[in-house]
Structure 1
Amino acid sequence: MHFITGGAFNGKSKWVCKQYGITKSNGIWISAYRGSAIPNSLERTHENGVIVFEGIEYWVKDWLEYGEKDALQRWQNILQDWQLWEKSHPLRKVILIGTDITKGIVPISAEERTWRDVTGRVFQATAKTSSQMDLIWYGISQKIK
């Protein structure tokens, strides 16, 4: 798994396309920014190749209606499933893109603070699980892992 994070509109998607030689139209690109849901199974989605999941923070926000613990557990389960899928064939690669919403001014509303906090925990779990991690700011990558 490869986790890419950074600020909003800082070139994360463009960097992924260039890095992997893909476009949003010639690969499997599942985007919360465009309203896509996470599929129940990757086996039916794509046999081999690269799958990009973009907008992790928005899926987290949706799941918070079930509570913080449920959202975190759901993400852990998904990471495990994707890791197994990826490891089952050498041509498979899962790429995860999430905008870092954990910096800056702390939100006033409790819901927004919870979203920010849980997203931070989800990103920590993602960084730990991923074999690669890059931080993208202003289109420039910094390899973290």
Structure 2
Amino acid sequence: MKLVIGGAHQGKWEYAKRKYGGIEPAEFHWVDGKSCSFEEVYSCGGIYHFELLMKRMMKAGEDTSHLASRIAEKNPDIVIVSTEIGYGLVPIDAFDREYREQTGRVCTQLAELSSRVDRVVCGIGVTLKGE
């Protein structure tokens, strides 16, 4: 499993496509966390907007506490691209605070289980874990 993280609009997906496969979504079977089914994360080559998948799952009442381990078990070769959402002002809305907290926890677990973690800033990837 590979994890690519970074702030909004920093070139994470473009970096992941160059590094891990496929310029077009169909070439590598990329799915968009904004619109894919919850089950696609277990069979796709890569997912971008992972944080939006988390938001949709939480709004649907899905338990995400073991999501990282389920992904690692069912789809160990996946590339996950997620925006870091834990910086800045703490949201006033209770759901938004819980979403931010849970997404951070799941991404921390994904980083632990991943063989490689890259952080992208201004389109430049820096390896935090792995080679």
- Aligned equivalent of 2:66: 73
1:77: how far off? 1.7
Q: How many Å apart are 1:17 and its aligned residue?
A: 1.8
SS of residue matched to 1:144:
strand
| SS of the residue 1:26 aligns to | helix
Match of 2:23 in 1: 23
Cα distance in 1 for residues equivalent to 2:79 and 2:3: 6
- 1:20/1:121 Cα in 2 relative to 1: closer, same or farther (>3 Å)? same
**One-letter amino acid of the counterpart of residue 47, structure 2:** F
Separation (CA, whole Å) in 2 of partners of 1:77 and 1:29? 19
Q: Deviations over 1:1-49 (max 9, x none)?
A: 110000111001111122235212422111113x11242752xx6xxxx
Question: Could you give the per-residue CA deviations for residues 55-82 of structure 1, whole angstroms, max 9, x where no partner exists?
Answer: 1111111222426xx2112443223211
Which residue number in structure 2 is paired with residue 39 of structure 1? Answer: 40
Rounded Cα–Cα distance in structure 2 between residues aligned with 1:126 and 1:9:
21
Distance 2:21 2:51 in 1: 25
Q: CA deviation at 1:135?
A: 0.2
TM-score when normalising by structure 2: 0.86
Shift of the 81–111 alpha-carbon distance from structure 1 to 2, 3 Å rule, reads same
When Rg is computed on C-alpha atoms for both structures, the one with the higher figure is 1
**Which residue identity lines up with residue 33 of structure 2 in the other structure?**
A
5+ residue gaps, structure 1, are: 46-50, 84-92
Aligned residues between the structures: 126
4+ runs deviating over 4 angstroms: none
Percent identical? 26
Query: What is the CA RMSD across the aligned residues, in angstroms?
Result: 1.8
Shift of 1:134: 0.2
Aligned counterpart, 1:89: none
CA separation of 1:11/1:40 partners in 2, compared to 1, >3 Å: closer, same or farther? closer
Deviation of 1:52 after TM superposition, in Å, equals: 1.1
The residue correspondences of 1:1-145 to structure 2 (distance < 5 A) are 1-24=1-24, 25-33=26-34, 35-37=35-37, 38-39=39-40, 42=43, 51-65=45-59, 66=61, 70-83=63-76, 93-145=77-129
Offset at residue 122 of structure 1 (A): 0.5
Greater displacement, 96-105 / 73-82: 73-82
